[in-house]
Structure 1
Amino acid sequence: MELLHSGKVRDVYADGDDLLLVASDRISIYDVILPTPIPDKGKILTQLSLWWFEQLSDVLPNHVISSTEVPAEWAGRAIRCERLDMVMVECIARGYLAGSGLKEYERDGAVSGVALPPGLIEGSQLPEPIYTPTTKAPVGEGHDEFMTYADVEAKVGAEVAADLKRITLEVYKRGQQVAATKGIIIADTKIELGFSKDGVLKLGDELLTPDSSRFWAADEWKPGGTQRYLDKQFLRDWSSGLTDWDRTDPGPAIPDEVVEATRNRYVEVYERLTGSSWS
């Protein structure tokens, strides 16, 4: 098999007409891959994505061909999938104010050109979920930047832009409904979309994982400060206390106790969402 691409977390191989998407235990923050892996992370991301693809199969088709027809050494962490012509827009939905969306709101009173009411604070629930797309910066070539809806229309055309917004918000709303029954808030999420060879828009990459979403414990949610994260935001918060790292390569090594705490959050959100024990 030919290695086509090595991303922050996943490696993509060509296998005939199919692709093999292999999730590693690498973890990145602020677009920097850290040198310390998180054990089981690749398998958790893969298995949780597969669970969500099944849950949302009536919303939009996805790229999955098989999760079992993969080399034995990648069992559990690889997906055989269709080749998609990926849309070069990061499709993000937000239902709560946090992270870069909070910073954008504090500066402009809006996120991606979407005006929001005054007086919102960190962790506030938005009046309704909003679509806040960004650019897709290649690995090692800067950070993603917010795009307005007009920017997306200019990039992909009005029809595709409308589909991206509709699908992103529908995926978020459906995911949030499912997660709410498990005591979890999905504050925001990022999805990847692409066109199959017959022109059908499909979900690709990963879906509603701790790498692509902010998960909060619903019973501990309280606007006005940091929430109890069940995702990699925990690692970002740890790194913010480092005085000797400027968020550029090379990233810092992660202490054992932070590795364990990060892994525990990934396991917890997997178990709470799927109802299955992670062994």
Structure 2
Amino acid sequence: MTNNTNHKSYQFDSSGALLSTDLPLPRRSGKVRDVYDLGDELLIVSTDRISAFDFILPSGIPDKGRLLTSMSKFWFHLLDVRHHLISTDVPTKQLHAAAPELELSPLEGRVMVTKKAQVVPFECVVRGYLEGSGLREYQASGEICGNKLPPGLSQCDRLPQPIFTPATKAEEGHDENVTIGRMIADLGSERALDLRERSLQIYNAACEHAQSKGILIADTKFEFGMVGDDVTLIDEVLTPDSSRFWAADVYQPGKAQPSFDKQFVREWLSTCGWDKQSDPPELPAEIINKTRDKYREAYERISGDVF
């Protein structure tokens, strides 16, 4: 359904999840975020969209966008790193200058006003544990993105030390894992090695904090951009959409771990009869609610705040 008073600006589903925004500014949209050009700055709106198996689903997860924004804000402020976040306040003046009658309440808690950056065309992925595409690559070759690993590791084992496994950024479909050599070829040695070092430092600092809250960060992906001559951490950071979070007290290597993300969604879609080729089905209310609860638990445990 759509919001009656703002049908041109916001689209909601029957659960109240915000599926899309259409503000009177230049826009581009990703799987979750709508990004608007404010002139000298960007306005990033985190919707409640959720994707799985390379499809954006017709059902949203209420509050997901607000939880992602709150999580990123927490990490940007905690980490000692140059980042793009300016404010999480709704830019009322700029928006009302473009559309005086625009209702702004749907944006509360889900926006980041950021610096503009020239985006580095690589995902900077750090893995501390063996899972996902890294596990599949290790099982096939004994290494991940050129990082040779000891033989005999099992699913979800902790690695001897965190490894940097970059990926190319795909507009559609899956990102492609590549070696640091590919980054060096594209960006130059100094820039590529600097990004690797920054990524590992941020990951290690985040792991130290998360572990103090009973959370393991299995892996995560960072994005960087250039703001002038400065390397800057951009996009979201260390959220359940960009990271695998596991509860330390139930961690058992050798099998898949319960995670604080869209695991319930993926599992239901894998067993509901959907062929993963046609348009995906609506999610049941139980799956929506369980997923929202997991995102909220991740935020509250890591930040120490009540959402």
TM-score by length of 2: 0.86
Q: Give, in whole Å, the separation in 1 of the partners of 2:34 and 2:60.
A: 15
Q: Which residue matches 2:160?
A: 127
Q: List per-residue Cα deviations over 1:59-118 (Å, max 9, x = no partner).
A: x21001111143433121001101000001011000001111111111111111111111
Give the one of 42, 45, 55 matched to 1:32. Answer: 55
Q: Give, in whole Å, the separation in 1 of the partners of 2:136 and 2:191.
A: 28
Q: List per-residue Cα deviations over 1:13-53 (Å, max 9, x = no partner).
A: 01121100000000112322111000000000001100000
> 1:159: Cα distance to partner?
1.1
Contact 2:90 2:111 in 1 (8 A): no
1:61 aligns with 2:82: yes
Q: Which residue matches 2:143?
A: 110
Larger displacement relative to structure 2 (249-258 or 34-43): 249-258
- Pairing of 1:235-274 with structure 2 (within 5 A): 235-246=265-276, 248=277, 250-274=279-303
> 1:178: Cα distance to partner?
0.3
> 1:235: Cα distance to partner?
2.4
Give the one of 79, 82, 86 matched to 2:115. Answer: 82
Q: Which residue matches 1:48?
A: 71
Larger Rg computed on CA atoms: 2
Give the structure, 1 or 2, with the largest relative contact order (CA under 8 Å, sep 6 or more): 1
> 1:253: Cα distance to partner?
1.9
* Partner AA of 1:256 in structure 2: A
Give the one of 7, 10, 25 matched to 1:2. Answer: 25
Runs of 5+ consecutive residues of structure 1 not aligned to the other structure: none
Q: Which residue matches 2:21?
A: none
Give the one of 36, 39, 46 matched to 1:16. Answer: 39
Give the one of 239, 256, 270 matched to 1:209. Answer: 239
Q: Give, in whole Å, the separation in 2 of the partners of 1:223 and 1:239.
A: 25
1:142 aligns with 2:173: yes
* Partner AA of 1:149 in structure 2: I
- Pairing of 1:214-233 with structure 2 (within 5 A): 214-233=244-263
Contact 1:245 1:252 in 2 (8 A): no
Instruction: Give aligned-pair identity as a percent.
Output: 47
Larger displacement relative to structure 2 (229-238 or 45-54): 229-238
Q: Give, in whole Å, the separation in 1 of the partners of 2:188 and 2:278.
A: 36
SS at 2:176 equivalent: coil
1:161 aligns with 2:182: no
Q: Please report the RMSD computed on the Cα atoms of aligned residues, expressed in angstroms.
A: 1.3
Q: Give, in whole Å, the separation in 2 of the partners of 1:29 and 1:113.
A: 28
Paired residues, number = 272
Runs of 5+ consecutive residues of structure 2 not aligned to the other structure: 1-23, 93-103
Contact 2:217 2:244 in 1 (8 A): yes
> 1:240: Cα distance to partner?
2.5
- Pairing of 1:151-190 with structure 2 (within 5 A): 151-190=182-221
